[in-house]
Amino acid sequence: MEQTKRQPRKLGWRFALLALVLAVAISGVVRSLWLDVYFIPSASMEPLLRSGDRILVSRTDFRAQPLRRGDVVVFDGRGSFAPLNSGKGPVVDFVSEAGRWLGLTGSDTTYVKRVIGLPGDHVVCCDAGGRLTVNGQQLAEPYLYAGDAPSELAFSAIVPAGRLWLMGDHRSMSADSRSLLGAPGGGMVPLERVIGRPVQIIWPLDRFAAVARPDQAAITTTTTNGQ
């Protein structure tokens, strides 16, 4: 009878361990193929994303719908942004906090920024009206942080094939493609380094909301002269 009483407890312990292992394995597969959760540690993407937000990132959405100007992307900054090390824009993988005891680690070379220039685009700051222009067209930029100028740094950059020009929405707090002009790669991020597109803010609960893609007509305005 003593043997019979101990057996259920032993089986229960084994079942719990097996369930934990399966949960970790399933989570790993989902994170590697479809969805991932990231933590925002800085103010560089305010007002859309705030410091402390947790965001759900789709690894497949941007493949089904090609990237376009104005999209927000999470990307691996090695070879382009990683030399910044400024604290003004890295995204720390949520697993680096919550899953460290499971042997899972995040990356300090992962960033979140907005696509301003696509391959072949000529991005300039700023025109006589104080706005960014892309291929001679002003960007209205409704997502820009209130009170920020489009850029305090003047620049003119042609985006090479297969790369992106990326900037934060809180320009005065963002280290981005502007910060690496003249460096190898010129701050242009290879398309293959894009991890995914944020689709949902999941924490804190009072900020639970979808991350919408901007209307292209709303961000592109008039053609300017002299570009």
Task: Write the pLDDT tens digit of every residue in 146-194.
Answer: 999 999 999 999 999 999 999 999 999 998 999 888 777 778 999 999 9
What does the block give as tokens for 158? 């042609």
For the cut 80, the answer to whether the pLDDT of residue 91 exceeds it is: no
Task: Write the pLDDT tens digit of every residue in 181-227.
Answer: 877 777 899 999 999 999 999 999 999 999 988 887 667 665 554 44
Residue 184 has what pLDDT? 75
Q: Give this prediction's pTM.
A: 0.77
Residue 104 has what pLDDT? 40
Q: How many residues does the chain have?
A: 227
SS3 readout for the chain: CHHHHHHHHHHHHHHHHHHHHHHHHHHHHHHHHCEEEEECCCCCCCCCCCCCCEEEEECCHHHHCCCCCCCEEEEECCCCCCCCCCCCCECEECHHHHCHHHCCCCCCCEEEEEEEECCCCEEEECCCCCCCEECCEEECCCCCCCCCCCCCCCEEEECCCCEEEEECCCHHHCCCHHHHCCCCCCCCEEHHHEEEEEEEEEECHHHCEECCCCCHHHHEEEECCCC
Which member of 42, 58, 80, 113 is catalytic?
A: 113
- pLDDT band at residue 66 under the 50/70/90 scheme: confident
Residue 125 has what pLDDT? 95
Residue 223 has what pLDDT? 55
113 flagged as catalytic: yes
CA of 206: how far to CAs of 54, 85, 169, 201, 202, in Å? 12, 31, 21, 10, 9
Which member of 42, 44, 80, 174 is catalytic?
A: 44
For the cut 50, the answer to whether the pLDDT of residue 95 exceeds it is: no
Task: Write the pLDDT tens digit of every residue in 8-50.
Answer: 555 566 655 555 555 444 444 444 456 888 889 889 999 999 9
Residue 214 has what pLDDT? 85
